[in-house]
């Protein structure tokens, strides 16, 4: 048998973590990436990485609370065992990152410093300035370079993943890649293929994501039969800097370090913001959520910012939407030490010093909570079985998904600073299982018997490429179609969703999907042809775009980032008598239970041969933390929390199961 | 007053459109030619959005249809280092090159690929040599394994404050582009040569050439880490080998063009002292 190998696609945090752990285990690894891996989108992560730490522990924190915050923040849509395993691993992961040289900020005594992030009351977030993602990525990049020097890892930087290769039994035996410079299409035999291909922000045109985040690689896997889950859950980050080419992220750490969000109480107050007295400023997050203040979870902060601008008409400027994010009360030296990187970005692109003048920000598409469906093997205690070949495996044997492109960890909304953790965790944790999986195979994809399969699949992709180049020029311009797709998606499927608009968007996207097939290539050459590569990626955005819209249209409820006002649960009448309030709260809780019975389910999209997604639903394993109303101490909602607590206590004393607790998937 | 969108008070008259000249090259080893484009002015453009507009137009200023210009980019917020090019003769990232600023200095914008690396096509260059240099100086921490062994070494905030700026280096190549000592190494591919063979031959040539400021600074970054210091000698040996620190001509251009203001000349001076000590120690020990 020829030597086995693993193909890792994507060189961000997840892909590099998996590659180095596999190499350590003695596995030969090929890493395929669109960009030199050091330039992957993980560099854009700013604020930090969460884990329980010695300090928070002494304030009453523990791994179970990190799990609780994560699933409460995610509106209970994620399976809880993987989250439990991740939060248990958190402290060890930060320690490892520390050992491999990440320059985490330090306390005066030399310990790692931590800041507070959204959706928690503890300071769990370790950070390296305000470029934590960059620093973590570099540390992993350095480890992978070390394995490259040792001959264990081969780098294929500047390659686009075109498809997985499946044998007659449906097992993944490798992948097809295309070189971005020479345009060579090549088959990569692999005994496991690990997709660490990131998010799909470019479907929305402009977002906080990098240009490589088209979602095309995940879409190609879906086209080959990998199921895609919770597509409709797209995180819109509350604070970004609007720009013509990109909406640049302004990290949550700005609020974690004391940044305050406000608008002038007088609409479009023309005064210099620093001249507006406190009494004439509306700190709407602090007023509405006194417990969490500016650090409510992202979906809530986003909706409040959106609503204060759109519904209340309190945007800073009349002609465009924005609110102030104010750091000017914090000393300069502290800002430079803890937030230098992001302040530099604001300064460079806006030409204004945010240490002196409040920043103007607005929400922007930021993260895909949904992604390729991935499996896990659960222990009786509720964690994951270490080294199980099922962990992170898609429904295609031998094809794995990790990092942002999997759907596993963040449910309906991701908490800030949890993505760096989930990316590194899923990569490190999956590796031993992958190694075990290939160890149990009787042969190698590099054996001669697979030559024909791999050559055949390569030829299919070559033919597709040649036909695209030779195709009679149509009239459509791929860059314009991309703009139009982004406009439709941003309008219909971001902060507020409405069924009529979604139906309309489905039609428009269907139309664009047809038009994309008539794109004229302005470059028909066969050398560094970015035009044809972009057109291919654009084409592959459509199945995921459709899955987002269809999922959002079908899901008639509000959950996390998915907000449909028509199905929002009405609040309690603030002026009612206590008894009436209680009655309304009981009704609210009934409706909440009913909603969970119907919609506390994973959306599964299966993409057919025409690129059309078909939906079905799967139960969610919520056996560790029972779902509860997600109110974050909203002023006026205390009565609901009280009614819910009483209800739970009654259930418990009746010995009944507290809530909806389905059987875990695959159990 | 500062309510203006980008806070700049320049109210100079903006043109209706402006010219963009791009130096184009079809493939490695081929000749290059200038191509002129006309782009409609909008406020707050950067060079990336200009290139996107040019791609969408697909027509030159002379009305001839053309292929989109090839260029590299990814993050668009100056942290990935991909989009480095020569903009009006200056090496910098296209994403943070704002058109409003550029038009204050010139009427037109001129885009050229970096000159110290092989051109792949148009503005795309191959900077593999920079990553090879990181390998040469062993720019990593040699940990025993990736199992749980507790935290890394304690570190003072001062030392973190020294290491962090060095660790912000995004291998963008500005420092070596501006360096008179760093000269282009471009090998022609031999007929029938495989990728692996070609890269091996390239690596040999790269290893003879100057490593450049970025890699020297990275060596200092890892020497500063308590665990990294255990391999300090190996890193210094690499810096004393051909193409090492002795090739630095002290022009100090590197530090002037670094977009992250990394104290590169300080790293070079420190590397100079550390290699001298290393040399003397070796000499006395032998």
Per-residue pLDDT tens for A447-477?
999 999 999 999 999 999 999 998 877 789 9
Q: A402, A195 in Cβ contact below 8 A?
A: yes
Chain B residues near residue A20 by CB distance under 8 angstroms: 146
Determine the average pLDDT of the residues in A425-449. 98
Taking CA atoms, what residue in B is nearest to A531?
Answer: B68
Question: Given an 8 Å threshold on Cβ–Cβ distance, is A245 in contact with B48?
Answer: yes
Do A194 and A248 share a domain, yes or no?
no
**Nearest chain A Cα to B162, which residue?**
A103
| Residue to test with chain B: of A155, A530, A534, A535, most B Cβ within 10 A | A530
Q: Which of B52, B74, B168 sits opposite A39 (nearest CB)?
A: B74
The alpha carbon dihedral of A98, A102, A107, A113 has a sign of negative
Q: The tokens of B90 are what?
A: 């200056």
> What residue of A is the nearest CA neighbor of B3?
A272
Q: Which of A116, A124, A248, A298 is catalytic?
A: A298
Instruction: Go through chain B and tell me how many residues it has.
Output: 286
Q: Is the residue at A658 inside a domain?
A: no
Does A350 sit within 8 Å of B127, measured CB to CB? no
Given its phi and psi angles, is residue A324 left (phi above 0), alpha (psi -120 to 50 degrees) or beta?
Answer: beta
User: Which A residues 174-213 touch B at CB under 8 Å?
Assistant: 181, 210-212
- CA-derived radius of gyration, chain B: 22
Same domain for A17 and A161: yes
Q: Contact, A660 vs A627, CB < 8 A?
A: yes
Q: Are A158 and A18 within one domain?
A: yes
Q: What is the pLDDT of residue B1?
A: 33
Tell me which residues of chain B, numbers 102 to 131, contact chain A at a CB-CB cutoff of 8 Å. 120-122, 124, 127, 131
A633: left (phi over 0), alpha (psi -120 to 50) or beta: left
Q: How many domains does chain A have?
A: 4
Residue A394 clears pLDDT 80, i.e. is over it? yes
Q: Tell how strand B90-93 and strand B84-87 pair up.
A: antiparallel
* Per-residue confidence (pLDDT) for residue B14, from 0 to 100: 85
Instruction: Give the residue from chain A lying closest to B70, CA to CA.
Output: A530
Q: Is A474 on the interface with B (CB under 8 A)?
A: no
Assess contact for B101 and B179: CB atoms under 8 A. no
The answer to whether B83 and B113 have CB atoms below 8 angstroms apart is: no
Chain B residues whose CB is inside 8 A of the A36 CB are 82, 127, 131, 171
Residue B33 structure tokens: 């030619």
- CA angle at A277 for the pair A275 and A279, rounded to the nearest 5°: 160
Average pLDDT, chain A: 95
Measured between CB atoms, does B52 come within 8 Å of chain A?
A: yes
One domain, residues A265 and A292: yes
Question: What is chain B's pLDDT, residue by residue, as a tens digit (286 residues)?
Answer: 333 444 444 446 789 999 999 999 999 999 999 999 999 999 889 999 999 999 988 899 999 999 999 999 999 999 999 999 999 999 999 999 999 999 999 999 999 999 999 999 999 999 999 999 999 999 999 999 999 999 999 999 999 999 999 999 999 999 999 999 999 999 999 999 999 999 999 999 999 999 999 999 999 999 999 999 999 999 999 999 999 999 999 999 999 999 999 999 999 999 999 999 999 998 888 7
A346, A316, A437: which is closest to A385 by C-alpha? A437
Crossing angle of helices B157-167 and A132-149, in 10° steps, is 70
Q: Do the interacting molecules here have an ipTM over 0.85?
A: yes
Mutate to test the interface with B, among A107, A211, A249, A424 (most CBs of B within 10 A): A211
CA–CA distance, A260 with A256 (Å, rounded to integer): 9
How close, in Å, is residue A121 to chain B by CA atoms?
Answer: 24
Please state, in angstroms and rounded to a whole number, the distance separating the CA atoms of residues B242 and A57. 52
Distance of CA B257 to the CA centre of its chain: 10
In chain A, which residue's Cα lies nearest the Cα of B26? A527
Q: Which of A232, A312, A231, A324 is nearest to A274 (CA)?
A: A324
The reply to whether A115 and A225 lie within a common domain is: yes
Question: Chain B residue closest to A273 (CA)?
Answer: B3
Q: Nearest residue on chain B to A240, judged by CA atoms?
A: B77
- Whether residues A349 and A247 share a domain: the answer is yes
Domain-terminating residue out of A420, A454, A488: A454
- B244 contacts B211 by C-beta, under 8 angstroms: yes
Distance CA A13, CA A136 (A): 7
In chain A, the residue whose alpha carbon lies closest to the alpha carbon of B223 is: A101
Instruction: Report which of A73, A118, A67 is spatially closest to residue A89, judged by C-alpha positions.
Output: A67
Residue whose pair of structure tokens reads 């030490």 in the numeric block: A337
Residue A569 lies inside a defined structural domain of this protein: no
pLDDT at B6: 44
Distance CA B219, CA B225 (A): 10
Instruction: Please indicate if any CB of chain B lies within 8 Å of the CB of A96.
Output: yes
Nearest beta carbon to residue A245 from set B27, B49, B74: B49
Contacts across the A-B interface (CB distance below 8 Å): 209
Question: Which residues numbered 128-147 in B keep a CB inside 8 Å of some CB on A?
Answer: 131, 134-135, 138-143, 145-146
What sections of A25-174 are H helices per DSSP? 54-58, 63-73, 80-99, 132-149
CA-based nearest residue to A141, from B140, B52, B196, B88: B140
Nearest to A272 among B2, B6, B75 (CB): B2
Is A468 in the B-facing interface, judged by CB distances under 8 Å?
Answer: no
- Three-class DSSP category at A562: strand
Q: Does A336 touch chain B (CB under 8 A)?
A: no
A495 to each of A210, A215, A362, A366, A489, how far by Cα in Å? Answer: 21, 20, 12, 12, 11
pLDDT band at A661 (very low <50, low <70, confident <90, very high): very low
Q: A464: buried, middle or exposed (CB in 10 Å: 19+, 13-18, 0-12)?
A: middle
Bridge partner residues of A393 (DSSP): A400
**Is the separation of the CB atoms in A124 and A52 below 8 Å?**
yes
Q: What is the CATH number of the domain that holds A353?
A: 3.90.700.10
CATH of the domain at A484: 1.20.58.100
A483: containing domain: 472-554
Is pTM, for the whole model, over 0.90? yes
Tell me how far CA of residue B61 lies from CA of B7, B19, B31, B54, in angstroms.
Answer: 32, 8, 21, 10
A521 to chain B, closest Cα gap in Å: 9
- Predicted local distance difference test score (pLDDT) of residue B12: 60
Do the Cβ atoms of B228 and A101 come within 8 Å?
Answer: yes
pLDDT of residue A655: 65
Query: Please, how many CA atoms are within 13 Å of residue A114, restricted to the half-sphere of its CB?
Result: 20
Any B CB within 8 A of A254 CB? no
**What residues in B contact A357, CB-CB < 8 Å?**
2, 7
On whether both A522 and A405 belong to a single domain, the answer is no
Is A475 a known active-site residue? no
For β-strands A248-249 and A260-264, DSSP reports them as unpaired
Cβ-Cβ contacts under 8 Å for B283 (sequence gap 6 or more): none
- Would you tell me which CATH number, out of the four given (1.10.3720.10, 2.40.50.90, 3.10.20.30, 3.40.50.300), belongs to the domain B17-121? 3.10.20.30
Q: For residues A209 and A134, what is the distance between their CA atoms, to the nearest angstrom?
A: 14
Query: Within a 10 A sphere around the Cβ of A438, how many other Cβ atoms?
Result: 19
Which residues on A lie below 8 Å from B24 (Cβ)? none
**Positive or negative: CA dihedral B158, B159, B160, B163:** positive
**B2–A352: do the CB atoms touch at under 8 Å?**
yes
The nearest CA of chain B is from the CA of A89 a distance in Å of: 10
Q: Taking Cα atoms as reference points, which of B163, B146, B42 lies closest to residue B103?
A: B42
pLDDT, average across residues A598-606: 98
Asked if the C-beta of B70 comes within 8 angstroms of chain A's C-beta atoms, the answer is yes
Per the DSSP assignment, residues forming a β-bridge with A154 are A30
Q: In angstroms, rounded to a whole number, what is the distance separating the alpha carbons of residues A446 and A450?
A: 7
Q: Are A227 and A242 within one domain?
A: no
Check if B182 contacts A (Cβ < 8 Å): no
Q: What is the pLDDT of residue A636?
A: 85
Instruction: Look at residue A652 and give its three-state secondary structure.
Output: helix
Q: Determine whether the interchain pair A523/B168 forms a contact, defined as Cβ–Cβ distance below 8 Å.
A: no
Contact A351 B7 (CB under 8 A): yes
What is the phi/psi pair of residue B122, to 5°? 45, -110
User: CB of A276 within 8 Å of any CB in chain B?
Assistant: no
What are the structure tokens assigned to B28, written together?
């490695």
Give the residue among B207, B78, B26, B105 at the shortest CA–CA distance from A44.
Answer: B78
Spell out the residues 6+ positions from residue B223 whose beta carbon is closer than 8 angstroms to its own.
B229, B232, B235, B236, B274
By mean pLDDT, which of A21-35, A83-97, A426-440, A625-639 is the weakest? Answer: A625-639
Domain annotation covers residue A434: yes
Per DSSP (E only), the strands in chain B are 17-25, 32-40, 84-87, 90-93, 109-112, 119-121, 124-125
Query: How far is the C-alpha of A26 from the C-alpha of A391, rounded, in Å?
Result: 20
Residues facing B20 on adjacent strands = B37, B109
Minimal Cβ distance to A348: which of B55, B78, B160: B78
Residues A325-364: tens digit of each pLDDT: 999 999 999 999 999 999 999 999 999 999 999 999 999 9
Q: Do A43 and B152 touch (CB under 8 A)?
A: no
Average of pLDDT values for A197-209? 97
Q: Is A469 on the interface with B (CB under 8 A)?
A: no
Pick the closest to residue A375 from A354, A352, A396, A361 (CA basis). Answer: A396
> Which residues of chain A lie closer than 8 angstroms to B193, CB-CB?
none
A135 touches chain B (CB under 8 A): yes
Virtual torsion, Cα A529, A533, A538, A544, nearest 10 deg: -170
Residue from the list B66, B127, B168 with its beta carbon closest to the beta carbon of A131: B168
**Would residue A348 count as lying in a domain?**
yes
Copy the structure tokens of residue A344.
Answer: 């530099």
- Report d(CA A365, CA A485) in Å as an integer: 14
Which residue among B44, B96, B164 sits closest to A244, beta carbon to beta carbon? B44
Beta-carbon count within 10 A of A318 CB: 10
- Whether B30 and chain A come into contact, CB under 8 Å, resolves to no
Of B58, B72, B171, the CB nearest to A522: B58
Is the pLDDT at A322 greater than 90? The verdict is yes
**Both A134 and A265 in a single domain?**
no
Q: Is residue A224 domain-shared with residue A314, that is, in the same domain? A: no
In angstroms, the CA B267 to CA B48 distance is: 32
**CATH code for the structural domain at B127-285:** 1.10.1060.10
The H or E element spanning position A187 is: strand A185-189
Closest by CA position to A198, among listed A15, A73, A342? A15
pLDDT of residue B21: 98
- With beta carbons under 8 A apart, name residues in chain A contacting B66: 522
d(CA B54, nearest CA chain A) in Å: 11
- A439: which 2 tokens? 């160890």
Decide if A74 is inside a domain.
yes
pLDDT > 60? residue A660: no
A229 sits in which H/E element: strand A228-229
Q: Are strands B109-112 and B17-25 parallel, antiparallel or unpaired?
A: parallel
- Three-state secondary structure call for residue B112: strand
> Contact B81/A39, CB-based, under 8 Å?
yes
Compute the Cα dihedral for A618, A623, A625, A627 and give only its sign. Answer: positive
How do the domains of chain B map onto residue ranges? Answer: 17-121, 127-285
CB A428 within 8 A of CB A21: yes
Question: Within a 13 Å sphere around the CA of A340, how many CA atoms are in the beta-carbon half?
Answer: 17
Query: For residues A164 and A535, what is the distance between their CA atoms, to the nearest angstrom?
Result: 20
């Amino acid at each position: 048998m020829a030597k086995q190998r693993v193909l890792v696609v994507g060189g961000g945090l997840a892909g590099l973590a998996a590659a180095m752990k596999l190499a350590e285990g003695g596995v030969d690894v090929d890493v395929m990436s669109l960009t030199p891996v050091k330039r992957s989108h993980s560099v854009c992560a700013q604020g930090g990485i969460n884990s329980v730490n010695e300090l928070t522990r002494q304030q009453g924190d523990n791994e179970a609370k990190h799990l609780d915050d994560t699933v409460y923040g995610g509106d209970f849509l994620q399976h809880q065992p993987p989250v439990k395993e991740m939060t248990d691993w958190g402290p060890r992961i930060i320690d490892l990152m520390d050992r491999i040289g990440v320059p985490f900020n330090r306390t005066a005594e030399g310990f790692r410093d931590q800041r507070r992030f959204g959706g928690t009351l503890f300071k769990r977030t370790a950070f390296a300035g305000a470029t934590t993602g960059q620093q973590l990525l570099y540390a992993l990049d350095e480890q992978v370079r070390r394995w490259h020097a040792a001959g264990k890892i081969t780098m294929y930087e500047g390659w686009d993943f075109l498809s997985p290769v499946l044998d007659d039994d449906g097992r993944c035996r490798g992948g097809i890649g295309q070189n971005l410079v020479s345009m060579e299409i090549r088959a990569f035999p692999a005994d496991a293929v690990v997709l660490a291909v990131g998010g799909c922000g470019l479907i929305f045109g402009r977002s906080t994501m990098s240009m490589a985040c088209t979602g095309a690689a995940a879409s190609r896997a879906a086209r080959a039969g990998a199921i895609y889950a919770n597509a409709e859950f797209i995180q819109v980050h509350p604070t970004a800097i609007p720009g013509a080419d990109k909406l640049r992220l302004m990290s949550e750490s700005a609020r974690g370090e004391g940044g305050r969000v406000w608008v002038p109480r007088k609409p479009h107050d023309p005064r210099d913001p620093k001249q507006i007295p406190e009494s004439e400023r509306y700190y709407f997050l602090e007023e509405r959520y006194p417990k969490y203040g500016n650090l409510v979870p992202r979906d809530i902060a986003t909706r409040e910012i959106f609503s204060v601008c759109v519904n209340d008409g309190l945007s800073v400027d009349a002609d465009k939407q924005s609110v102030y994010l104010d750091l000017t009360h914090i000393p300069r030296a502290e800002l430079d030490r803890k937030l230098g990187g992001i302040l530099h970005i604001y300064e460079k692109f806006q030409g204004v010093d945010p240490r002196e003048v409040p920043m103007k920000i607005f929400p922007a598409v930021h993260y895909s909570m949904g992604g390729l469906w991935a499996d896990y093997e659960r222990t009786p205690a509720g964690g994951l079985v270490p080294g199980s070949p099922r962990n992170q495996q898609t429904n295609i044997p031998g094809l794995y998904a990790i990092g942002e492109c999997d759907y596993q960890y963040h449910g309906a909304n991701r908490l800030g600073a949890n993505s760096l953790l989930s990316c590194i965790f899923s990569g490190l944790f999956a590796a031993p299982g992958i190694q075990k999986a290939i160890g149990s195979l009787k042969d190698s994809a590099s054996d001669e018997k697979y030559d024909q399969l791999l050559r055949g699949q390569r030829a299919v992709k070559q033919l597709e490429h040649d036909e695209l180049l030779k195709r009679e020029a149509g009239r459509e311009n791929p860059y314009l179609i991309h703009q139009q797709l982004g406009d439709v998606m941003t309008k219909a499927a971001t902060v507020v969703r409405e069924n009529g608009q979604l139906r309309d968007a489905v039609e428009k996207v269907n139309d664009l999907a047809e038009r994309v097939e008539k794109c004229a290539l302005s470059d028909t050459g066969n050398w560094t042809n970015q035009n044809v590569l972009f057109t291919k990626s654009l084409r592959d955005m459509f199945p995921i775009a459709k899955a987002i819209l269809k999922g959002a249209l079908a899901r008639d409820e509000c959950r996390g980032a998915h907000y449909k006002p028509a199905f929002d649960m009405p609040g309690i009448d603030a002026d009612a008598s206590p008894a009436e309030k209680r009655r309304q709260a009981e009704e609210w809780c009934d409706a909440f239970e009913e909603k969970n019975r119907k919609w506390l389910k994973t959306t599964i999209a299966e993409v057919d041969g025409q690129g059309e997604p078909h939906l079905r639903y799967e139960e969610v394993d919520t056996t560790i933390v029972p779902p509860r109303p997600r109110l974050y101490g909203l002023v006026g909602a205390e009565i609901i929390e009280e009614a819910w607590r009483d209800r739970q206590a009654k259930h418990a004393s009746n010995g009944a199961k507290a809530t909806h607790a389905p059987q875990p998937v695959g159990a | 007053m500062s309510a203006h969108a980008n806070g700049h008070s320049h109210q100079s008259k903006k043109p209706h459109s402006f010219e963009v000249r791009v130096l184009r090259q079809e493939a490695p080893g081929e000749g290059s030619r200038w191509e002129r484009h006309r782009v409609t002015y909008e406020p707050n453009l950067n060079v990336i959005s200009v290139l996107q507009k040019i791609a969408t137009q697909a027509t030159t200023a002379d009305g001839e249809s053309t292929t989109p210009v090839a260029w590299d980019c990814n993050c668009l917020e100056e942290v990935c280092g991909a989009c480095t090019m020569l903009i009006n003769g200056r090496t910098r990232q296209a994403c943070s090159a704002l058109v409003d600023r550029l038009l204050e200095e010139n009427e037109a914008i001129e885009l050229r690929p970096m000159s110290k690396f092989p051109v792949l096509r148009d503005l795309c260059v191959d900077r593999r040599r920079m990553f090879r240099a990181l390998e040469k100086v062993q720019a990593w921490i040699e940990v025993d394994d990736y199992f749980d062994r507790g935290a890394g070494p304690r570190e003072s905030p001062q030392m973190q404050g020294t290491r962090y700026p060095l660790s912000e280096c995004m291998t963008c190549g500005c420092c070596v582009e501006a360096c008179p000592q760093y000269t282009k190494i471009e090998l022609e591919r031999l007929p029938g040569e495989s990728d692996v063979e070609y890269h091996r031959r390239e690596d040999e040539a790269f290893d003879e050439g100057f490593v450049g400021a970025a890699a020297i600074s990275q060596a200092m970054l890892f020497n500063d880490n308590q665990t990294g210091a255990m391999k300090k000698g190996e890193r210094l040996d690499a810096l004393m080998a051909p193409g090492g620190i002795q090739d630095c001509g002290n022009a100090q251009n590197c530090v002037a063009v670094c977009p992250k203001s990394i104290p590169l000349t300080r790293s070079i001076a420190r590397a100079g002292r550390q290699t001298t000590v290393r040399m003397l120690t070796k000499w006395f020990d032998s």
